[in-house]
Amino acid sequence: MTSYQQIFENNQKWVAEHSASAPDFFTQLAASQAPDYLYIGCSDSRVTAEEMMGAAPGEVFVHRNIANMVVNNDLNSLSVLEYAVRHLHVKHIVVCGHYGCGGVKAAMQPKDLGILNPWLRNIRDVYRLHHAELDAIADVDARYDRLVELNVQEQCVNVLKSAVVQEQYLLHKIPVVHGWVFDLRTGLLKDLKLDYEHILHNIQQIYDLSDEVAQERNKAKEALPAEVTTETAH
């Protein structure tokens, strides 16, 4: 109970510190949120999004789950994605993994993990897609590190597959998707520097929504009053 009570003492100190430096801090915090970033990360207790990014409250919209997954039948992560892109209008979507991820390691163990099995199977699919590269890495730790990176890459691809992201990007050129890895051994973030345009181009043959977006855009124009359409043309 000591650690539990300490949480509320820490909370009171946090409130006092912010109120002293900015008396209207909580008034502004309660008013609204307009984050530029959606952060999709791992639930690992050692990896805290705002702290390692140096971000203040209200600057990052955060979603976390085991092994930072974006699964196409997970209504939780997809609802977060929809809300962040369509309603908060985030400019950046970050998928952030971390080296030493327990979820990634568990996925590669030949064990029955109960309800975790279908979730971790998605990571095994990442291994299947990249097994030639991964099997060529002799060092086991280095292989797991690379799998962490490839998992982030594939989750970024899953973000790009989503209708809401493609629609908003085709219309407004945002959000941009980034893949990061956090190194617990150094505390540093690594940008995987994924080629967003290249990945989008490669998946568009199957997941292309550009024609649909163009049709919706034309419908929206047709629904506008004539004088608005004329002014826009000028």
Among all residues, which ones are annotated catalytic?
42, 44, 46, 98, 101
pLDDT of residue 207: 72
Checking if the pLDDT of 24 tops 70, the result is yes
| C-beta separation of 164 from 86 below 8 A | yes
Checking if the pLDDT of 17 tops 60, the result is yes
Stronger pLDDT, 221 or 134, i.e. the higher one: 134
173-199 per-position pLDDT tens digit: 999 999 999 999 999 999 999 987 787
10 Å CB burial of residue 62 (0-12, 13-18, 19+) is middle
Checking if the pLDDT of 231 tops 80, the result is no
Neighbours of 48 (CB within 10 A): 13
* Cα dist from 191 to 4, 117, 152, 160, whole Å: 36, 29, 11, 17
- Give 222's contacts (C-beta < 8 A, 6+ positions apart): none
Checking if the pLDDT of 18 tops 90, the result is yes
Stronger pLDDT, 232 or 202, i.e. the higher one: 202
* Distance of alpha carbon 106 from alpha carbon 101, whole angstroms: 9
Question: What's this model's pTM, rounded to 2 decimal places?
Answer: 0.86
pLDDT of residue 225: 63
Checking if the pLDDT of 51 tops 70, the result is yes
Angle between helices 75-82 and 163-172 in degrees, nearest 10: 20
pLDDT of residue 64: 98
Nearest CA among 106, 131, 130 for reference residue 119: 106
Cis peptide before 35 (omega within 30 of 0): no
Pairing of the two strands 188-191 and 92-98: unpaired
Checking if the pLDDT of 26 tops 80, the result is yes
* Distance of alpha carbon 59 from alpha carbon 50, whole angstroms: 8
Strand locations in 66-197, DSSP E?
A: 92-98, 176-183, 188-191
Checking if the pLDDT of 11 tops 60, the result is yes
* Distance of alpha carbon 141 from alpha carbon 185, whole angstroms: 13
Stronger pLDDT, 67 or 109, i.e. the higher one: 67
The secondary structure of 193-206, three-state, reads CCCHHHHHHHHHHH
- Give the H or E element holding residue 232: helix 226-233
pLDDT band (50, 70, 90) for residue 206: confident
pLDDT of residue 232: 45
52-62 per-position pLDDT tens digit: 999 999 999 99
